[in-house]
């Protein structure tokens, strides 16, 4: 989402980066460039003004101008300001206020049609299920055609029960019946998919108010489409004024939208951005971390999110087995193929690059990223054309075998040779790290 903004801000920081001394003029030039980057990213004008004024005020003090590394000190100020505008460092504000298992908690999912509200309800249910809770999805969007059926299908995919009443006309009655069923079936969390419209109108708000009064929800989450830019902020502000919100979910966070909504939400609405939708799969739903996002915007990567993604998507037993093989130098092309499958499962290289320090926006061009993805496809095709014995023991790959593999994969023999060479170089590199008694911990088994 923030690729263009990252490129422009990192460019702006060149006015001060690496300099042993900087002047107020350097600071003004850098801040002015950052201001233009934020405006181009569709950040709310009031937010931009606050950001610029507070940054200049703090950066022009002696703490920066007389610092041992003033450029680094300035970057820290910009980082801290970004964190503040994205939501601050207090994680409790973004944590769902759900009660214990002995009391049923309720979450209202609010939003306009097309925002991803129903899908986000299912994604949240899956996340809570993985955390040990027992959610129930409640189909209270009785206006949009097929909304009830969509929620039922999603619930079936993630293994979460769905309360639906075909032909129902009163969402409050549907909620009450769902609550009664939940009490009998040891459910601890109701996630209610509420009515949506193409635009905000009084009938929708009246119905949501009745549902709020009946359910007394612990959380009221607005689901907004990040691609709508400042419209998402305006919608959040209106919902909050009319019925109240406890937080916001931004969908399509993986899109190439400019990112202004994420940077403006907290300042304009006062409500935290709690979750982001980062893809189409049920698992593509992540807690929002302002400090991590600020680091990514500044091109510093996001190591914590990368590690969490690896740990979440990689099976612990496989990671332990791979580490054992690495220590004993038993790593084969069969394991290499498995690692590639894990990377694909996590969304491919593109989903990981932005989290790796030094490989953010501007470091790899779209062409380079596309070529890397294509190379992955070619390597996988070659390995899948090998027999299991050949993958387990690449030393048997003589000329005739390589020719057969090339024909089977639709690749030239040179591609087969290149893969084998990369594999052998990787083994040599691992051997140099694997000293007797050492322990090299590879998150997710990646190398």
Phi-psi region of 95 (alpha: psi -120 to 50; beta: other; left: phi over 0): beta
- Closest of 68, 64, 69 to residue 17, by C-alpha: 69
pTM above 0.85, yes or no: no
Q: What is the predicted pLDDT for the residue at 127?
A: 95
Name the one residue in this structure whose structure tokens are 């290149």: 418
Q: What is the predicted pLDDT for the residue at 194?
A: 94
- Closest of 124, 297, 191 to residue 289, by C-alpha: 297
How many Cα neighbours within 13 Å face the side chain of 376? 17
| Most confident listed range (59-68, 172-181, 361-370) | 172-181
Mention the CATH class of domain 3-91.
mainly alpha
**What residue ranges in 97-149 does DSSP mark as E strands?**
105-110, 135-139
Q: What is the predicted pLDDT for the residue at 402?
A: 94
| Most confident listed range (107-111, 366-370, 427-431) | 107-111
Q: What is the predicted pLDDT for the residue at 260?
A: 78
Given pLDDT bands bounded at 50, 70 and 90, which one contains residue 358? very low
Question: Is it the case that residue 356 has pLDDT exceeding 80?
Answer: no
Higher pLDDT pick, 436 / 384: 384
Given pLDDT bands bounded at 50, 70 and 90, which one contains residue 355? low
Q: How many whole angstroms separate alpha carbon 118 and alpha carbon 104?
A: 21
In b/e form, how buried is each residue of 52-77, taking b as 16+ CB within 10 angstroms? beebbebbeeeebbebeebbebbbeb
Q: What is the predicted pLDDT for the residue at 130?
A: 92
Question: Is it the case that residue 240 has pLDDT exceeding 90?
Answer: yes
Q: How many whole angstroms separate alpha carbon 75 and alpha carbon 375?
A: 36
Report pLDDT digits (tens) over 135-162: 999 999 998 878 999 999 999 999 999 9
Report pLDDT digits (tens) over 245-272: 999 999 988 776 667 788 888 888 899 9
Q: What is the predicted pLDDT for the residue at 93?
A: 87
Strand, coil or helix: 392: helix
Enumerate the H helices of 328-365 as residue ranges.
333-345, 349-353
Q: What is the predicted pLDDT for the residue at 338?
A: 77
Question: Is it the case that residue 398 has pLDDT exceeding 90?
Answer: yes
Instruction: Give the sheet arrangement for strand 105-110, strand by strand.
Output: 162-163, 135-139, 189-193, 105-110, 219-225, 247-251, 273-277, 285-287
Task: Say if CB 401 and CB 390 are below 8 A apart.
Answer: yes
CATH of domain 306-445: 1.10.260.30
In b/e form, how buried is each residue of 152-179, taking b as 16+ CB within 10 angstroms? bebbeebebbbbbbeeeeebeebbeebb
Q: What is the predicted pLDDT for the residue at 319?
A: 56
Q: What is the DSSP annotation of 207-243?
A: HHHHHHHHH--SEEEEEEEGGGTHHHHHHHHHHHHHT
| Helix 366-384 vs helix 413-433: crossing angle, to nearest 10 | 100
Q: What is the predicted pLDDT for the residue at 302?
A: 47
Residue 366 CB contacts under 8 Å (≥ 6 apart), including other chains = none
Q: What is the Cα 429 distance to its own chain's centre?
A: 32
Going from N- to C-terminal start, the domains of the chain cover 3-91, 92-288, 306-445
Task: Tell the CATH topology of 92-288.
Answer: Rossmann fold (3.40.50)
Could you give phi then psi for residue 322, rounded to 5 degrees? -65, -40
Q: What is the predicted pLDDT for the residue at 341?
A: 73
Tokens of 71: 């450029």
Residue 254 CB burial class (10 angstroms; 0-12, 13-18, ≥19) = middle
Q: What is the predicted pLDDT for the residue at 303?
A: 47
- Percentage of residues of the chain with pLDDT beyond 70: 78
| Most confident listed range (62-71, 314-323, 326-335, 406-415) | 406-415
């Amino acid at each position: 989402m923030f690729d263009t903004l990252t490129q422009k801000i990192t460019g702006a920081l060149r006015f001060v980066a690496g300099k042993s001394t900087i002047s107020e003029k350097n600071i003004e030039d850098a801040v002015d460039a950052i201001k233009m980057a934020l405006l181009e990213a569709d950040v709310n004008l009031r937010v931009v003004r606050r950001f610029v004024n507070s940054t200049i005020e703090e950066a022009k003090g002696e703490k920066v101008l007389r610092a041992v590394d003033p450029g680094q000190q300035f970057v820290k100020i910009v980082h801290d300001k970004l964190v503040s505008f994205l939501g601050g460092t207090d994680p409790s504000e973004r944590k769902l206020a759900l009660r214990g298992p002995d009391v049923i908690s309720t979450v209202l999912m609010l939003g306009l049609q097309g925002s991803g509200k129903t899908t986000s309800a299912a994604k949240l249910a899956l996340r809570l299920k993985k955390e040990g809770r027992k959610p129930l999805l409640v189909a209270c969007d009785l206006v949009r055609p097929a909304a009830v059926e969509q929620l039922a299908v999603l619930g079936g995919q993630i293994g979460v029960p769905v309360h639906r009443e075909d032909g129902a006309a009163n969402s409050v009655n549907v909620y009450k019946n769902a609550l009664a069923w939940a009490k009998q079936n040891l459910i601890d969390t109701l996630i209610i998919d509420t009515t949506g419209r193409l635009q905000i109108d009084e009938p929708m708000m009246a119905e949501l108010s009745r549902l709020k009064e009946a359910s007394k929800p612990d959380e009221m989450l607005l689901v907004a489409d990040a691609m709508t830019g400042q419209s998402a902020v305006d919608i959040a502000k209106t919902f909050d004024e009319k019925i109240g919100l406890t937080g916001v979910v931004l969908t399509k966070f993986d899109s190439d939208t400019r990112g202004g909504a994420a940077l403006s939400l907290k300042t304009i609405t006062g409500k935290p951005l709690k979750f982001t939708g980062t893809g189409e799969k049920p698992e593509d739903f992540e807690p929002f971390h302002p400090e991590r996002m600020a680091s990514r915007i500044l091109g510093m990567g996001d190591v914590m999110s990368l590690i969490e993604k690896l740990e979440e998507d990689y099976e612990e037993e496989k990671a332990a087995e791979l580490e054992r093989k690495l220590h004993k130098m038993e790593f084969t092309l069969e394991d290499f193929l498995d690692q590639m499958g894990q990377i694909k499962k996590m969304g491919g290289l593109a989903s990981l690059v932005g989290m790796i320090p030094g490989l953010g926006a501007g470091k790899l061009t779209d062409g380079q990223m596309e070529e890397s993805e294509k190379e992955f496809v070619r390597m996988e095709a070659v390995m899948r054309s090998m027999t299991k014995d050949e993958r387990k023991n690449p030393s048997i790959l003589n000329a005739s075998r390589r020719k057969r593999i090339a024909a089977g994969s639709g690749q030239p023999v040179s591609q087969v040779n290149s893969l084998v060479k990369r594999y052998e170089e990787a083994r040599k590199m691992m051997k140099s790290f694997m000293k007797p008694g050492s322990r090299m911990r590879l998150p997710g088994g990646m190398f």
